Amino acid sequence: MTKLSVNINKIATLRNSRGGDVPNVVQFAKDAQRFGAEGITIHPRPDERHIRYQDARDLKAEVYTEYNIEGKPIPSFMDLVLEVKPTQVTLVPDAEEAITSNAGWDTLKHKDFLCEVIKEFQAHGIRTSIFVDPILAQIEGAKATGTDRIELYTEAFAQQYSLGNEKGVTPYVDSANLAQELGLGLNAGHDLSLDNIAFFKAQIPHLLEVSIGHALIAESLYLGVENVIQMYLRKLK
């Protein structure tokens, strides 16, 4: 079964829009796990526009499933991850002006940098994953960095699927097969939703984990958080 990790950034966005501590991100993480989520994902940015660095610290004691912290490995982010020691760190090449993640790593261009960062995290017992586009050369490049896993950036698939083009999943199938051949664990995320997750899961071999935030929270506004988490779990079985 593919694990569902719930990204709770949008809960922090809602909290920050009003000030105070409602909704409480730690309580939401606890509830999401109680409802069946098999992991919690956060993605702090340097400007802390949603998840704050202190949230990462506060969540450590309450996430008893898999704890995944995503972000660009700038010094402050690395210090945070080494302090908190989550289950997994997912390295994302965030552009400063981007609203959300919009590209995977160029693992060939940034090989030396990624090797250094990954070695540091692994030395502290933290599983590493690299956010990558479904390009075979980039997955081969990821293997050369020593990473434990890759996370496929799935926005292109989601866009094509919404247009009725099921063949848009083909690069992801090829990427998944190559990752398996290379001994890389496989995660996926970005714009996955109740509309497309079952199809994606059925097509992608060896998929260990999906991280879903924006769609899951939006769907929960209509259907309820507990119900939506259970719907994802049924589709991933």
Q: What is the pLDDT along the chain (237 residues), one digit of tens a residue?
A: 899 999 999 999 999 999 999 999 999 999 999 999 999 999 999 889 999 999 999 999 999 999 999 999 999 999 999 999 999 999 999 766 655 556 899 999 999 999 999 999 999 999 999 999 999 999 999 999 999 999 999 999 999 999 999 999 999 999 999 999 999 999 999 999 999 999 999 999 999 999 999 999 999 999 999 999 999 999 998
User: Closest Cα to residue 113, out of 69, 161, 146?
Assistant: 146
190 catalytically annotated: yes
50 catalytically annotated: no
Marked catalytic residue, from 43, 50, 151, 209: 43
Marked catalytic residue, from 38, 50, 151, 190: 190
Instruction: Flag whether the pTM goes above 0.75.
Output: yes
Query: Rounded to whole angstroms, how far apart are CA atoms 199 and 163?
Result: 14
Query: 49 by DSSP, 3-state: which?
Result: coil
Please report, as a single letter, which amino acid is at residue 72: K
70 catalytically annotated: yes
Query: Rounded to whole angstroms, how far apart are CA atoms 152 and 139?
Result: 9
Marked catalytic residue, from 38, 50, 70, 151: 70
User: Closest Cα to residue 148, out of 132, 135, 134, 129?
Assistant: 129
